[in-house]
Structure 1
Amino acid sequence: MAWTARLKGLRAGAERRFPVLAELAARLLSANLLDAATRLAAQAFLACVPLLFAIAAFAPRGVRDQLSDSLRSLFGLTGPAEQQVQQVLTPSADGSLKDTTGIIGLAIVLISATSFSRAMSRVCERAWRLPKAGARIAAWRWVVWLLALVVVVLVQGPVREGFGVGLWLGTPLVFLVGIGVWLWTQHLLLAGRVGWLPLLPGALLTSAALTALSLTARLYMPGALNRSLAEYGSLGLVLVLLSWLIVVSAAITFAVTIGAVLAQEPSLRRHPTTRARPGARKP
């Protein structure tokens, strides 16, 4: 029993000396972050597929071409994988896809896709240990965030290429844009209950993680997608994309949570962190 007591003493000493690390370990172990990341990835996939078909049916050709270029730049698409994307984004000449989808179908797609926004909201709320915001306050934020995310994906191509200069400029631009996106994302989906400054560590960590993953995606994804298409057909494409989304979602979930813990350091506690909002309710 002596060694057990010694271990407890070492743990207590570590918690006194490094309270941030102790709190971070406790938060990461108690929040089921891997489960949250898996759910976030599943909702992202379920939102992206119908949105892709909706854009193919209703968006002008310039928007479809821009989306194709951005996806090619994001994943380094080549060969069969690129052809699959082009096939989805090129609607039939007779407009049958638009007739099948319809305005009502487009509205249903948009509403169902907000499940991704809701999952992202839950990730942010769990990171900050906040209750769920009331639906009346949060609903419009889910739609706005989803539409803004589509715009961010659309501009990924030129940003990643440094507007024609190259990756040496594009990579820092992606990082800087990511900071702004994830700072705004947290503030919006938390319904303004956390001040801007405390959200900065999470935005920095998330942007850094996603920038690093975007660089590896250009190296890994083209070969993985084309091999899966050759061996398993479209199902292989789904499996690879879902696996990648799980990695990305895990990076987002952990980065936002770590950022929330770091933001509650004593040096930042003098700044306003959370504010009560009407309509918030207990989870």
Structure 2
Amino acid sequence: MGGRARLRNAAATAQRLRASAEQHFPVLTELTARLLSTNLLDAATRLAAQAFLTAVPLLFAVAAFAPASMRTQLAESLRTVFGLTGPANQEITELLGSPTGKDLRQTTGIIGLLMALISATSFSRAMVRVCERAWLLPKAGARIVAWRWVIWILAVLLVIFFQGPLREGFGVGIWLGLPVTFVISVLVWLWTQHLLLAGRVPWLPLLPGAVLAAAGSTALWITARLYIPTALNKALNQYGSLGLVLTMLSWLIVLCAAASFAVTIGAVLAQGPPLNRYLTPRRSTGDAPAAPPA
């Protein structure tokens, strides 16, 4: 009986603590419920898979059709982001360092380029679902958001293209590149949410998610420069191209999980106290529309 009484007391204490937490920290309760209900790890895995399936054909398309200066800039950006050395760096150099890309153009063709761009919108659609689930919004009509899928992919390519000079602080050094990268990342994530949500959420409430996503991606960039070069070279030596695929896909899953959690946590924080008082626009009584004339 004594053991049962202790169990009942422990259960009652746990319930009181839970009720107290829900009363004093409603944001934590809502955050836990949102994270569990949206199945973020599954969504992040799908997002990472779509990102990888998008990156590979687009990388070959750039290698085939882009001028030499653009291919050189993209290769430098990839080296800067991942700190590539050894065999991994050689793979990128061989792919993007081709003088003309004639063989790739003959293999890819214009139709292949268009198909690569169209298939890339699957990555955009996966990102849209992450944002909509974070804000508990219904799906927007394809007619409203279809053009946004293409615009977002093109913008992502542009951002990746300039990662080299950006993260090196335009030649000044990483001490400038790190804060500049963080600020640019905040703006990119802010615009990403607003674009893919079709403007259904105002700009200010999107700010917490943008800051968290930028912080996560910046931290993962620093980690990638320490981990990715060694992991890629080891995987290439042991398993060949399959090792490259597995390593990059694992890193993408971590990156997409961080972005998914950041956007969702940011949505909960923006909608709950105390940030909702500052981020959610309120209409004052003086701003109420006047009654129409009789």
Q: TM-score, normalised by structure 1?
A: 0.93
Q: Secondary structure at the match of 2:198?
A: coil
| Counterpart residue number, 2:207 | 200
Seen in structure 2, the aligned counterparts of structure 1 residues 272 and 243 have a Cα distance that, compared at 3 Å, is same
Q: After TM superposition, which residue ranges in structure 1, 4 or more long, deviate above 3 angstroms? A: 90-94
AA in 2 matched with 1:252: A
The residue that corresponds to 1:214 in the other structure is: 221
Distance 1:33 1:104, change over 3 A: same
**Which deviations, in whole Å up to 9, do the C-alpha atoms of 1:220-269 show, x marking residues without a partner?**
11111101111111111111100000000010000000000000024425
Structure 1 residue 74 corresponds to structure 2 residue 78: no
SS at match of 1:62: helix
| Of 25, 28, 31, the match for 1:24 | 31
Q: Would you say 1:173 and 2:180 are equivalent positions? A: yes
The 2-side partners of 1:57 and 1:90 are apart by: 11
- What pairs up with 1:254-265 in 2 under 5 angstroms? 254-265=261-272
Matched to 1:205, the amino acid is: L
Q: Describe how 1:146-165 pairs up with structure 2 within 5 A.
A: 146-165=153-172
Paired with 1:33 and 1:173, the residues of 2 have a C-alpha distance of: 29
Distance in 2 between residues matched to 1:155 and 1:61, nearest whole Å: 15
Quote the sequence identity (%).
67
Structure-2 separation of matches of 1:160 and 1:93: 28
- Mapping of residues 70-149 of structure 1, within 5 Å: 70-91=77-98, 93=100, 95-149=102-156
AA at the equivalent of 2:257: A
Distance 1:91 1:112 in 2: 25
Letter in 2 for 1:96: D
1:90, CA displacement in angstroms? Answer: 3.4
Deviations 1:119-144 (A, max 9, x none): 00000000000011110011100000
Letter in 2 for 1:268: N
CA distance in 1, matches of 2:171, 2:98: 29
RMSD of aligned residue pairs (Cα, Å): 1.4
Q: Report if aligned partners of 1:70, 1:157 keep a CA contact under 8 Å in 2.
A: yes
- Whether the 8 Å CA contact 1:202–1:256 is kept in 2: the answer is yes
Q: Which residue of 2 aligns with 1:279?
A: none
Distance in 2 (CA, whole Å) between partners of 1:50 and 1:92 is 19
Q: Does the 8 Å CA contact 1:91/1:97 hold for their aligned counterparts?
A: no
**2:57 alignment counterpart:** 50
Give, in whole Å, the separation in 2 of the partners of 1:88 and 1:125. 37
Question: CA separation of 1:122/1:21 partners in 2, compared to 1, >3 Å: closer, same or farther?
Answer: same
Tell me the TM-score normalised to structure 2 length. 0.90
Q: Figure out how many residues of one structure are paired with residues of the other and give that number.
A: 273
Query: 1-side partners of 2:159 and 2:260: how far apart?
Result: 19
Q: Paired residue for 2:236, among 229, 250, 256?
A: 229
Does the 8 Å contact 1:55/1:64 carry over to 2?
yes
2:279 is aligned with 1:268? no
The unaligned stretches of length 5 or more in structure 1 are 274-283
- Structure-2 separation of matches of 1:205 and 1:85: 31
- The C-alpha deviation readout for 1:140-183, integer Å capped at 9, x for no partner, is 00000000000000000001000001110000011000000000
Higher-Rg structure is 2
